[in-house]
Amino acid sequence: MPLQALKPKSKLPAVGTTIFTVIGQLAARHDAINLSQGAPNFPCKPELIRYAHEAMLEGHNQYAPMAGVMALREAIAAKVETLYGHAYHPGDEVTVMASASEGLFSAVTALVHPGDEVIFFEPAFDSYAPMVELQGATPVPVKLSAPDFAIPWDEVRAKISPRTRMILINSPHNPTGKVLGDADIEALERLTAGTDIVILSDEVYEHVVFDGAPHHSMSRHPELAERSVVVASFGKTFHVTGWRVGYCLAPRALMDEIRKVHQFAVFSADTPMQYALAKLMETPADYLNLSGFYQKKRDLLVDALKDSRLKLLQSAGSFFMLAEYGHISGEADSAFVQRLIVEHGVATIPVSAFYRDGTDQRVIRLSFAKDDATLIAGAERLCQV
C-alpha cells in the first residue's frame, strides 16, 4: 500500500489548529507584547533550580516510584491537611502526576466509560471535552454568560441524567477569574448527594485567590471530598509550567483506578523535579504568599488600564482577567484580537475559543502572569485601542 494511503480515522475529528496556536504565531510575527498565555514570563526561585540540580548530582535520575517520591507525597498531604483540613493518606490517596493535564486525563480515562455523560462549564479549558470524547462518552456543557459568568445551578440540575458519571469543575477559573463561593458549594453538595457522580476538581490555581477569599477546595468539604478527585499543578504554583509536575488527591477506591491509568500512560513523573519540589515545600511561605504576589499584578494591570476604553471584569482568582469591548467594536472577538496584534502590537485571547460552539460575547482574556514591565507596556498599547 502506498504510504500516502495511510490516513488514520481521527478520534478527534473536530480538533484542528487551535486559536491559541494562531494567536501565538501571529503575536511572534508582529513582535507583540504577549498578554495571551497563562505561562509566567518571569523565573522561578533560583533555589528550586539548585535543588533539582542537586537531586541530579545525587543520582536521582532513574524512575521515581509510580505514585511519586514519598517525601513529596507526604509534603502534599501535610499541606492539604493544614490548609483544607482533610487528611489524605500519602500512600494510597496522593499521586504525583506528570502535570495537572496528565492528572485530569488519567482521572477521566479511569473513571468515565463509553456512553457516560460528563457535565462541564463553558468557557472551559480546552482539554476537557476532548478528554471525555476519547472515552466514547459525551461532554455536556453548561454555559456561563458574561458579564458575571455565574453557574446556573438549575440548569446543571436539569442536565443531570442517569448517565451522568462526572461533573468537571474548575476554581479559580480559567478564563473568567471566577471562584466558587459558599452558595456554589451548597448547590454542588445538594445536587450530588445520594448519587454516584464523581467530581473532578481542577484546582491548578488554588493558591491564587484574591481579596482574602478562601479557596473552596473540594477537600475542604467532607461530603464533596469523598466523591472528588482534586487536581493541582506545581507548574502554576512555582512558576515552572515546563517542568510538568502536578498531583491528584482522591479517596482510595477512586485513586486505585486512576493509578492504573497513570501507571501505563507515563509510569511516573520526573524524578529530580519531585525531589526539588519536596524540598521547596519545606518553606510554605512560597505558595502561601502567591495570592498576594498575583493580586499585585492584577491590581497593577487594572490601574494601568484605567484610561482604556475596555470594560474590565473583576478577577477573583487565577492568572486571568476578562475585558468587554462590545461598546467599542462590533467585530467578532477573534477578529478583534487579531487586529490588536497587527495594529497595536499586543496579544490577548478571544473568549469564544473557550466555547465549543464559538459563543462570542465580545470578551477577551488578559493574562497578568507577566513581569511588571510587560504588564505596563501591554496596558499602554491597550489604552490606544
Ligand X SMILES: Cc1ncc(COP(=O)(O)O)c(C=O)c1O
Point out which residues bind ligand X (CB under 6 A).
Answer: 38, 99-101, 125, 170, 174, 202, 204, 233, 235, 241, 246
Residue indicated by cell numbers 479511569? 110
Nearer to ligand X, 139 or 235 (CB): 235
Element spanning 277, H or E = helix 271-280
All cell numbers assigned to 235? 507548574
Nearer to ligand X, 122 or 304 (CB): 122
> What is d(CA 305, CA 381) in angstroms, rounded to the nearest whole number?
10
Q: Please, what is the minimum distance in Å from the beta carbon of residue 175 to ligand X?
A: 8
Q: Please, what is the minimum distance in Å from the beta carbon of residue 117 to ligand X?
A: 21
What letters, b where the CB count within 10 A reaches 16 and e where it falls short, cover 89-107? ebebbbbbbbbbbbbbbbb
Nearer to ligand X, 174 or 338 (CB): 174
Q: Please, what is the minimum distance in Å from the beta carbon of residue 7 to ligand X?
A: 30
CA separation (Å) from 23 to 18, 203, 320, 375?
A: 9, 26, 17, 18
Q: Please, what is the minimum distance in Å from the beta carbon of residue 226 to ligand X?
A: 23
Element spanning 164, H or E = strand 164-170
CA separation (Å) from 59 to 63, 98, 245, 272?
A: 11, 20, 19, 9
Nearer to ligand X, 88 or 234 (CB): 234
Q: Please, what is the minimum distance in Å from the beta carbon of residue 353 to ligand X?
A: 13
Nearer to ligand X, 246 or 272 (CB): 246
Residue 212: burial class (beta carbons within 10 Å; 0-12, 13-18, 19+): exposed
Nearest to 247 by CA among 106, 61, 124: 106
What is the chain's Cα-based Rg?
21
Nearer to ligand X, 108 or 304 (CB): 108
- Is 324 in a helix, a strand, or coil? strand
Q: Are 71 and 273 in contact (CB under 8 A)?
A: no
Q: Please, what is the minimum distance in Å from the beta carbon of residue 39 to ligand X?
A: 8
Q: Please, what is the minimum distance in Å from the beta carbon of residue 112 to ligand X?
A: 17
Q: Which residues pair with 158 in a beta bridge?
A: none
Side by side, the strands of the sheet bearing 164-170 are: 94-97, 246-249, 228-233, 198-202, 164-170, 117-122, 138-143
Nearer to ligand X, 21 or 161 (CB): 21
Nearer to ligand X, 90 or 175 (CB): 175
Q: Please, what is the minimum distance in Å from the beta carbon of residue 108 to ligand X?
A: 12
Q: Please, what is the minimum distance in Å from the beta carbon of residue 170 to ligand X?
A: 5
Task: Count how many residues are written for the chain.
Answer: 385
Dihedral sign for Cα atoms in the order 166, 163, 266, 241: negative
Nearer to ligand X, 55 or 96 (CB): 96
